[in-house]
């Protein structure tokens, strides 16, 4: 599958990429980490593949807002795994826009490694450093960055799409910054696909053009340290 390198492609191709990985690896037992109130897979996608899906989140209230059509499991992916966690049982573990909120990404990836069956695949879709809007988000006090985001995107409020504090630990589109850390945990293969540009800045006209020019330049140069999103894929 050919995936574009712009941020829109990252969003658009996420579903075919996740389903493609599930299908091509023959995964049956699947865990979504941080699925919250909007779990990613749809009922027909789960049923037609005969998947055993578990949706995780660290916030019980978020999980309660999710449909009751699959198993739910409330725990911190970067904490100590629950006593009843079935180690080595999942074929595919994925997350969308979750790992940037995790303070200790090494611990989170290590838990994923332990939860995966041998040969199983972990997948994280993350916003990445040193993309300027995410660098701004990381450097700015939460109250201020939440206020700015609400100005840019009025949907970003607690009742609709809440904003969670972000740390961006190991959220990098440059494989050199990620692969050695995942290899230390034990992952055999790591692939990082970068995406360039973000939908942020649209309300600030001058900044919008500067940001677009910056994104086009870093994409043309394939300067992955300044990419904005990545698919991080690791096989146990």
Q: Which is nearer to ligand SAM, 44 or 60 (CB)?
A: 60
Q: Which is nearer to ligand SAM, 35 or 120 (CB)?
A: 35
Helix, strand or coil for residue 96?
strand
Rounded to 5 degrees, φ, ψ at 125 are -105, 120
**Nearest distance from residue 172's CB to ligand SAM, in Å?**
18
Q: Which is nearer to ligand SAM, 142 or 189 (CB)?
A: 142
**Nearest distance from residue 101's CB to ligand SAM, in Å?**
4
Q: 34 and 98 in contact (C-beta within 8 Å)?
A: yes
Binding site for ligand SAM (CB under 6 A): 33-36, 38, 56-59, 62, 76-78, 96-98, 101-102, 164
Q: 41 and 53 in contact (C-beta within 8 Å)?
A: yes
Q: Which is nearer to ligand SAM, 154 or 205 (CB)?
A: 154
Q: 66 and 132 in contact (C-beta within 8 Å)?
A: no
Q: What CA–CA distance (Å, rounded) separates 125 from 171? A: 9
Q: What CA–CA distance (Å, rounded) separates 180 from 133? A: 26
**Nearest distance from residue 165's CB to ligand SAM, in Å?**
9
Q: Which is nearer to ligand SAM, 100 or 219 (CB)?
A: 100
Q: What CA–CA distance (Å, rounded) separates 29 from 193? A: 24
Q: 127 and 97 in contact (C-beta within 8 Å)?
A: yes
**Nearest distance from residue 208's CB to ligand SAM, in Å?**
24
**Nearest distance from residue 185's CB to ligand SAM, in Å?**
17
Q: What CA–CA distance (Å, rounded) separates 91 from 59? A: 24
């Amino acid at each position: 599958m050919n995936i574009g390198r712009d941020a829109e492609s990252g969003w658009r191709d996420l579903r075919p990429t996740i389903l493609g990985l599930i299908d091509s690896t023959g995964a049956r037992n699947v865990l979504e980490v941080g699925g919250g109130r909007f779990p990613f897979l749809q009922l027909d996608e789960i049923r037609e593949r005969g998947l055993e899906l578990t949706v995780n989140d660290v916030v019980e209230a978020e999980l309660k807002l999710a449909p009751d059509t699959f198993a739910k499991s409330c725990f911190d992916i970067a904490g100590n795994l629950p006593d009843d966690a079935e180690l080595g049982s999942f074929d595919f573990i994925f997350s969308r826009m979750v790992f940037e909120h995790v303070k200790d990404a090494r611990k989170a990836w290590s838990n994923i490694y332990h939860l995966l069956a041998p040969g199983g695949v972990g997948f994280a879709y993350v916003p990445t450093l040193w993309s300027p809007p995410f660098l701004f988000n990381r450097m700015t006090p939460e109250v201020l960055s939440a206020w700015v985001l609400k100005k840019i995107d009025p949907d970003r409020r607690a009742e609709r799409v809440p904003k969670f504090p972000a740390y961006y630990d190991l959220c990098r589109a440059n494989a050199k910054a990620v692969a050695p850390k995942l290899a230390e945990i034990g992952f055999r293969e790591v692939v990082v696909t970068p995406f360039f540009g973000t939908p942020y800045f649209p309300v600030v006209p001058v900044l919008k053009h500067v940001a677009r020019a910056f994104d086009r330049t870093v994409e043309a140069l394939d300067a992955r340290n300044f990419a904005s999103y990545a698919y991080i894929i690791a096989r146990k």
